[in-house]
């Protein structure tokens, strides 16, 4: 059976609560005897999932990253396809609210974007299959469970996908430092996809050309840009303000 590793308390707990059928085995660092450990081990016992207390070195050998004393082996999740997302958009009653990440390659940034997307009510996060981070164990840990709640869709041809959702009436708002309009002049209230560019380079040319509107985040200090995950959070919560106002 194919498997992958998930680590960190939030990430493992999210699997336990939302996709328990994927759990195969769990390892917990020796010395942990708090309520959090008891709650998870009791739940694992109830599911009949094997768990084991091991030395930290064994956890270090299994994953690279700050595992926080817990690692789980899980079956691979079914990856959403482009067709799945297009079907969901066609059937959904509420206005689409998507996040598109064009070339975000740092798994920490991807995980942080997923976490904020979940909090903001984003219906799916879309990335290109090439030159983009995937949902690695590190990204899942940073996402704090959001990787198990927000559909993550990797598309073969991002430009083509953007054309397809535009045909479904989705307005594409892209971020660019040189844009004339600011974030606060954009209209996020209808069917919308926020398009964020890669760390440092921004959006690729074809992606930029498919956007209906380009906006910038006003910068009053000496630095000229924000980390992509921070910028994503700023933009998504302006959208939330408008969509719930």
| Same domain as 100, residue 70 | no
Residue 153's domain is classified under what CATH number? 3.40.1280.10
226 is in an annotated binding site: yes
What are 133-179's pLDDT values in tens digits? 999 888 998 998 888 889 999 999 999 999 999 999 999 999 998 89
DSSP H helices in the chain: 9-18, 35-47, 56-62, 82-91, 107-120, 137-143, 158-167, 205-210, 228-244
Q: Are 174 and 203 in contact (CB under 8 A)?
A: yes
Where does residue 204 fall: left (phi above 0), alpha (psi -120 to 50 degrees), or beta otherwise?
Answer: beta
> Last residue of a domain, which of 49, 75, 101?
75
Q: What is the mean pLDDT of residues 31-58?
A: 92
Structure tokens at 211: 């956007």
| Same domain as 211, residue 100 | yes
CA triple 216-179-99, angle to 5 deg = 50
As for how many domains the chain has, the answer is 2
| Same domain as 168, residue 69 | no
What are 164-220's pLDDT values in tens digits? 999 999 999 999 988 999 999 999 999 999 999 987 788 999 999 999 999 999 988
Residue 37's domain is classified under what CATH number? 3.30.1330.30
Of 85, 74, 73, residue with least CA distance to 150: 85
221 is in an annotated binding site: no
| Same domain as 141, residue 202 | yes
Q: Which domain holds residue 231?
A: 82-244
Q: Which strands make up the sheet holding 23-29, listed edge to edge?
A: 3-7, 70-75, 23-29, 50-54
| Same domain as 40, residue 64 | yes
215 is in an annotated binding site: no
| Same domain as 66, residue 107 | no
> Last residue of a domain, which of 75, 100, 135?
75
Q: What is the mean pLDDT of residues 33-37?
A: 85
| Same domain as 132, residue 27 | no
| Same domain as 233, residue 145 | yes
């Amino acid at each position: 059976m194919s498997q992958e590793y998930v680590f960190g308390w939030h990430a493992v707990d999210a699997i336990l609560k939302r996709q328990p059928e994927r759990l195969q085995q769990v390892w917990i660092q020796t010395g942990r005897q708090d309520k959090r450990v008891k709650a998870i081990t009791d739940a694992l016992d109830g599911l009949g999932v094997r768990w084991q207390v091991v030395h930290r070195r064994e956890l270090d050998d299994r994953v690279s990253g700050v595992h926080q004393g817990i690692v789980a082996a899980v079956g691979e999740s079914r990856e959403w396809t482009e067709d799945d997302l297009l079907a969901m958009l066609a059937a959904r009653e509420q206005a689409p609210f998507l996040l598109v990440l064009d070339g975000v390659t740092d798994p920490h940034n991807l995980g942080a974007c997923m976490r904020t997307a979940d909090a903001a009510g984003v219906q799916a996060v879309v990335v290109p299959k090439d030159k983009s981070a995937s949902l690695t164990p590190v990204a899942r840990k940073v996402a704090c469970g959001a990787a198990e709640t927000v559909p993550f869709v990797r598309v073969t041809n991002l430009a083509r996908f953007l054309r397809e959702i535009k045909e479904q009436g989705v307005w594409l708002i892209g971020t660019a430092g040189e844009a004339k309009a600011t974030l606060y002049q954009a209209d996020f209230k209808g069917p919308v996809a926020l398009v964020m560019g890669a760390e440092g380079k921004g959006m690729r040319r074809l992606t930029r050309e498919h956007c209906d509107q380009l906006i910038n985040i006003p910068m009053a200090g000496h630095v000229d840009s924000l980390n992509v995950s921070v910028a994503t959070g700023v933009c998504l919560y302006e959208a939330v303000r408008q969509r719930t106002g």
